[in-house]
Amino acid sequence: EPEVTQTPSHQVTQMGQEVILRCVPISNHLYFYWYRQILGQKVEFLVSFYNNEISEKSEIFDDQFSVERPDGSNFTLKIRSTKLEDSAMYFCASSGGGTGALGEQYFGPGTRLTVT
């Protein structure tokens, strides 16, 4: 069964460093998302992406964050200068088919980001 994959599973970085989290969405999906979950808190939407541009973003997704689809299979989230409060589990998701952005979203296993 097709699934969303994410790498790395765990990333440790120092405050102020740049990190890139990578995702491979389900191959025929066209809508891509990033969410995060700070330990013990709700899952929060960050951004959605379609046709090489951002469809929607939350107030969390400020200038420190960017997303990119560098090729036909990968979808990345970059955090330019990490802060301690960026420590969280980051989930990539994708959706597709006829309902597109309004269809069922499939999530990856997550990347745990620890900022020290």
Partner 1 sequence: KQEVTQIPAALSVPEGENLVLNCSFTDSAIYNLQWFRQDPGKGLTSLLLIQSSQREQTSGRLNASLDKSSGRSTLYIAASQPGDSATYLCAVRLIYNQGGKLIFGQGTELSVKP
CB 64: neighbour CB atoms within 10 A? 14
Inter-residue contact 95 to 52 (CB < 8 Å): no
Determine which helix (DSSP H) or strand (DSSP E) holds 90, and give its type and residue range. Answer: strand 88-96
Is 33 a binder of partner 1 (CB under 8 A)? yes
Question: Which residue number, 8 or 100, has a Cβ lying nearer to partner 1?
Answer: 100
Among 21, 23, 31, 87, binds partner 1 (CB under 8 A): 31
Question: Which residue number, 65 or 107, has a Cβ lying nearer to partner 1?
Answer: 107
Question: Which residue number, 14 or 51, has a Cβ lying nearer to partner 1?
Answer: 51
Among 56, 70, 73, 78, binds partner 1 (CB under 8 A): 56
Build a one-symbol-per-residue string for 63-82: x at contacts with partner 1 by CB under 8 A, - elsewhere: --------------------
Is 35 a binder of partner 1 (CB under 8 A)? yes
Position 67, amino acid: V
- Annotate 35-66 with DSSP letters as a single string: EEE-TTS-EEEEEEEETTEEEEE-TT--TTEE
Build a one-symbol-per-residue string for 85-104: x at contacts with partner 1 by CB under 8 A, - elsewhere: ------x-x-x----xxxxx
CB 45: neighbour CB atoms within 10 A? 15
